[in-house]
Each structure stands twice: as structure tokens, then as C-alpha cells.
């Protein structure tokens, strides 16, 4: 299985901050990389697919970049509703695998 490693595992930030989260794959996944946001007690929500395509309805302050093995999710100006846990997921080589998550805290 392809291993997905996220860093950091948690971070503290303030409203208005620019935040970046990294995801590294154990082998190339091309651009078959998705990002999800999960709030406590809720199902994950798809933010970014294909490494950089914004899912419909997701604010433009979320951007994804990268290809191959290294990817980044950036939040340009953190909003109160963005405090959550973020997961990356590769869909290049079965089985699809998730990263361990990054918790964004105040």
C-alpha cells in the first residue's frame, strides 16, 4: 500500500493566518491526490481533488498544489469555521489510502 504522511500532525493558528499542510506519498501518485476537512462528530468533506481542483462550493481560500510525491494544502486566510482536521488521500494505486490527519487548532 502507498503510505501517506502528513505534517505537521497538529498546528496552532489564529484567524487570518495563512496555513499550509504537507502530505507526502511513499511513491508517486501523479496528481491523484484529494484533501478532506473533518469537523468533530461530522463526516469528512471533500475540499480539493486531483491535487489542485477546488470542489464545488468550497471557498477559494483553499488551494492545493503538488504532484508526484509531495503535496500542499494552503488556507490563505484562516476563518473560524476552518478549525478542523484535514486529511489527504491518494487514489492513484489501489487501495486508496489516507494520511494520518492534521488538526488545525486555535
Chain contacts with other proteins (rule: CB under 8 A): 1, 32, 34, 36, 38, 43-46, 49-50, 55, 87, 89, 91-92, 94-101
* Beta carbon nearer to other proteins, 16 or 41: 41
Smallest distance from the beta carbon of 104 to other proteins, in angstroms? 15
- Indicate the residue among 32 and 62 with the shorter CB distance to other proteins: 32
* Residue 16 or 40 having the CB closest to other proteins: 40
Least separation in angstroms between residue 14's CB and other proteins is: 25
Over 32-89, what HEC string results? Answer: CEEEEEECCCCCCEEEEECCCEECCCCCCCEEEEEECCEEEEEECCCCHHHCCEEEEE
Give whichever of 66 and 99 is closer to other proteins, judged by the CB atom.
Answer: 99
Least CB distance to other proteins at residue 41 (A): 9
Please report, for residues 1, 40, 53, 98, 105, the alpha-carbon distance to residue 66 in angstroms, rounded to integers and kept in the order given: 20, 28, 11, 16, 24
The least CB distance from residue 10 to other proteins, in Å, is: 13
Do β-strands 33-38 and 85-90 pair in parallel, antiparallel, or remain unpaired?
antiparallel
Amino acid at each position: 500500500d502507498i503510505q501517506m504522511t502528513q505534517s505537521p500532525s497538529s498546528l496552532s493558528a489564529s484567524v487570518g493566518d495563512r496555513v499550509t499542510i504537507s502530505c507526502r506519498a511513499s511513491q508517486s501518485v501523479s496528481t491523484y491526490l484529494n484533501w478532506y476537512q473533518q469537523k468533530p462528530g461530522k463526516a469528512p468533506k471533500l475540499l480539493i481533488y486531483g491535487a489542485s481542483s477546488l470542489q464545488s462550493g468550497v471557498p477559494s481560500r483553499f488551494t492545493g498544489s503538488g504532484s508526484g510525491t509531495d503535496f500542499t494544502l494552503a488556507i490563505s486566510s484562516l476563518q473560524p469555521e476552518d478549525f478542523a482536521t484535514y486529511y489527504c488521500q491518494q487514489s492513484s494505486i489501489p487501495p486508496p489510502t489516507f494520511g494520518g490527519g492534521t488538526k488545525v487548532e486555535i
